[in-house]
Structure 1
Amino acid sequence: MTVDILVLGGAHIDRRGRIDDETAPGASNPGRWLEEPGGGGFNAARALARLGLSVAMISPRGGDGLGEQVAAAAQAAGVDDRPFVFLDRSTPSYTAILERDGNLVIGLADMDLYRMFSPRRLRIRAVRGAFSAAKLILVDANLPAETLEAIAVLAASLSKPLLGIGISPAKVVRYTGCLGKLDMLFLNGAEAAVLAGSRPDDPTEWPQLLRAKGLRGGVVTNGPGPVIAFDDSGDYALTPPALEKLADVTGAGDSLCAGVTSQRVHSAALPLALRHGVALAGLTLLSDKATAEDLTPDRLAARLALVGEPRALSSQPSALL
């Protein structure tokens, strides 16, 4: 059966502690605790499924109660969940402490199980069948570098578009060996700086720096500042509309990826896809969950009406200037 998008990457438990008052480092801080299924790939997969796309997800998981929570969340969102279950292992988790305004203080990733997703698992008949049946492949950097490289080779052999999520500055380097095979990589400024080797004073220089490293297309976020995007059609900047409030930054980048991917799977031009990404990220920033659980195509369309048109930074890709 054909699916729109095959996602390979993180599907685990997110735990977030929210500090109620001004953060006091090195001291006990009153706050609240939230636990929910998450992970870069999983957040994007759920958003895509809620938008009506057919989505399959492959990810390692432990044989424990946390793994059952992830499976239940996948089913509730309409994701075709196809995990590798290791009965004697614990499901990965990510624990974050957030300031009162929703910004991250520190995070701890217990992700050792993802090492079990080795390249040899791509030789499993069901996995290869999933690749053949998908229109587009989406990965995240929770997977080992050698697995990301093997996925890139397999996707290229099948002429499948391949998109990636950066996840973190520490993990984004796992794409180094396959940057040239990615059609698009979703990054924040810190992740982009690790790949580029420096951070430009002017964010509109991101396309030139990242193309120099072999990346053909990418999207770089800058908090409330302009989102920079590029592919072989050109370079673009889009400033997100102001938010009524900021509930939580968790998952916003994954949602931006989902919004863009929801259009790229249908070969939409980058400016239109970027508007959808910014709109969906805005809905997630307004939610206290890692995905907007009440997301529908109609809600996204209403938010899209608030998002302006991207500004073209050049008539030709910057690498050609």
Structure 2
Amino acid sequence: MSLTQREREIVDLLRADPLLDAAALAERVGSTKAAVSVHLSNLTRKGVILGRGYVVRAAAHSVVVVGGANMDIKAHSRAAVELRTSNPGEAFTTPGGVGRNIAENLARLGTPTHLVAPVGRDPFGDQVVALTRDAGVVVDHMIAVDGPTGTYLAVLDATGELLVAISNMTVTDALTVRQLGAARDLLAHADLLVVDGNIPAAPTAWLLDFAHAVGVPVVLDPVSVPKARHLAATLSPERPVLAITPNSDELSAIVDEPVADTRAAITRAARVLHGRGVTHVWVRRGVRGSILSSRDDDGRVTVTTLAAPTVEVADVTGAGDSMTAAFVHAWLRGDSPVEAARFGQAAAGLTVASTETVRPDLTASLVDAELRRHAPRPSQEKKR
């Protein structure tokens, strides 16, 4: 979505004073009322403004998450798994989906959060919506669709490591721009938008365009290698992104070339994404921690290596979702990007130490206490 210079001037004025009418706008930009009315009509058609006051974001920090919501079915083996036979263990269901998990983590950390996600008109969908609401997430813009609610089946070994997972995200794969239309006002008022990589390419591109037009920063979670591939064509300087959170394999898919899990290789690939409009590229490396590459307004790049906290793993499911949510929470409260990344890693450590996909006792105070306990010292290197 592109705006003319005059349209951008009008949007800036409306952000400052959403009650300006066409005559007042015309006087301020040195144009006629008729010409400004045409610009306002075009901005409405483009989805940038939805009516008087709609381009102004709310004063309170709030996040909108657009992504997947499904029912997780998790099975834990009691001993080392033997393939092609039955293994003793436990199984249970819990609400899941990357977008939904990020939203719940944010709500538990204390950030007002809205979730926009498709669910089926079925018992699983009803449970997902009800339990997500109970966790503190605003679910007024959930999208009810025909078809089954998404499911994610995960099999974990006795140590909590994932062995295999099968996901059925058909309703999310079919999400359209038209379905997101009802959330335009919500998006325009957000302080930050999180986009889950499960969203198809066309809605993702529309969300990035819309967010840029209304001045809402975006954090992208690529989710997986197959889901990350469409981002190669979606990312561009015309659709700036605040942060993206891939692992090295997902980073390879986005830049469309192999990326070794080394600082040098990750730094080179991150520069490619900086060139495509991404300010912070935060690459996750599991037990090896993470690497954060940040580009400032003058084009200087700072690369920071962060060590992972040492924890006893109970279940790795949901660790990446808590990392993203905690990063967003910390960034909104004013932490530096490096501090936000450290906060995210601490939240992930607390999550993998729990058997729950979203740790129910997660709070910002708990994460801050964990940070003080580990007190990591990241190494930094500045490059031009």
Compute the displacement of 1:195 (Å): 2.2
- Partner residue, 1:274: 341
- Partner residue, 2:293: 230
Compute the displacement of 1:221 (Å): 1.3
Compute the displacement of 1:44 (Å): 1.0
Residue identity (%): 27
State the alpha-carbon separation in 1 of the partners of residues 313 and 205 from structure 2.
36
Check the 8 A contact 2:259/2:265 in 1, yes or no: no
Gaps of 5+ in 2: 1-56, 297-301
- Partner residue, 2:310: 242
Is 1:12 aligned to 2:70, yes or no?
A: yes
Compute the displacement of 1:182 (Å): 2.1
- Partner residue, 1:287: 354
After superposition, the Cα gap between the structure-2 partners of 1:310 and 1:185, relative to the gap in structure 1 and judged at 3 Å, is farther
State the alpha-carbon separation in 1 of the partners of residues 333 and 210 from structure 2.
21
Check the 8 A contact 1:241/1:306 in 2, yes or no: no
State the alpha-carbon separation in 1 of the partners of residues 171 and 132 from structure 2.
19
Alignment of 1:1-321 (within 5 A): 2=58, 4-81=62-139, 82-86=141-145, 88-124=146-182, 127-180=183-236, 181-196=240-255, 197-200=257-260, 202-213=262-273, 214=276, 215-233=278-296, 234-243=302-311, 245-309=312-376, 311-316=378-383, 320=384
Relative to structure 2, which stretch is displaced further, 30-39 or 178-187?
A: 178-187
State the alpha-carbon separation in 2 of the partners of residues 141 and 295 from structure 1.
24
State the alpha-carbon separation in 2 of the partners of residues 74 and 201 from structure 1.
35
After superposition, the Cα gap between the structure-2 partners of 1:190 and 1:34, relative to the gap in structure 1 and judged at 3 Å, is farther
Give the letter aligned to residue 279 of structure 2: R
Greater gyration radius? 2
After superposition, the Cα gap between the structure-2 partners of 1:83 and 1:313, relative to the gap in structure 1 and judged at 3 Å, is same
Compute the displacement of 1:10 (Å): 1.0
Superposition misfits of 4+ residues, deviation over 4 angstroms = none
Tell me which of the two structures has the higher relative contact order, counting C-alpha pairs closer than 8 angstroms and 6 or more residues apart. 1
Give the letter aligned to residue 180 of structure 2: L
State the alpha-carbon separation in 2 of the partners of residues 198 and 95 from structure 1.
29
Compute the displacement of 1:302 (Å): 1.3
Give the letter aligned to residue 155 of structure 1: A
After superposition, the Cα gap between the structure-2 partners of 1:204 and 1:39, relative to the gap in structure 1 and judged at 3 Å, is farther
- Output one character per residue of 1:77-101: Cα deviation in whole Å (capped at 9) or x when no partner: 1100121102x32111111111211
After superposition, the Cα gap between the structure-2 partners of 1:17 and 1:113, relative to the gap in structure 1 and judged at 3 Å, is same
Check the 8 A contact 1:60/1:116 in 2, yes or no: no
Check the 8 A contact 1:204/1:313 in 2, yes or no: no
Question: Could you say what secondary structure the match of 2:83 adopts?
Answer: coil
State the alpha-carbon separation in 1 of the partners of residues 249 and 162 from structure 2.
13
Gaps of 5+ in 1: none
Relative to structure 2, which stretch is displaced further, 108-117 or 209-218?
A: 209-218
Compute the displacement of 1:200 (Å): 1.8
Compute the displacement of 1:309 (Å): 4.3
State the alpha-carbon separation in 1 of the partners of residues 212 and 279 from structure 2.
14
State the alpha-carbon separation in 1 of the partners of residues 331 and 253 from structure 2.
26
- Output one character per residue of 1:154-202: Cα deviation in whole Å (capped at 9) or x when no partner: 1111111000112111111132233233221112232223223213252
Compute the displacement of 1:205 (Å): 3.0
Give the letter aligned to residue 165 of structure 2: G
Compute the displacement of 1:297 (Å): 2.4
State the alpha-carbon separation in 1 of the partners of residues 131 and 198 from structure 2.
19
- Partner residue, 2:13: none
Relative to structure 2, which stretch is displaced further, 31-40 or 259-268?
A: 259-268
State the alpha-carbon separation in 2 of the partners of residues 192 and 308 from structure 1.
28
State the alpha-carbon separation in 2 of the partners of residues 160 and 267 from structure 1.
16
Compute the displacement of 1:216 (Å): 3.5
Q: Cα RMSD between the aligned structures?
A: 1.7
Q: How many corresponding residue pairs?
A: 313
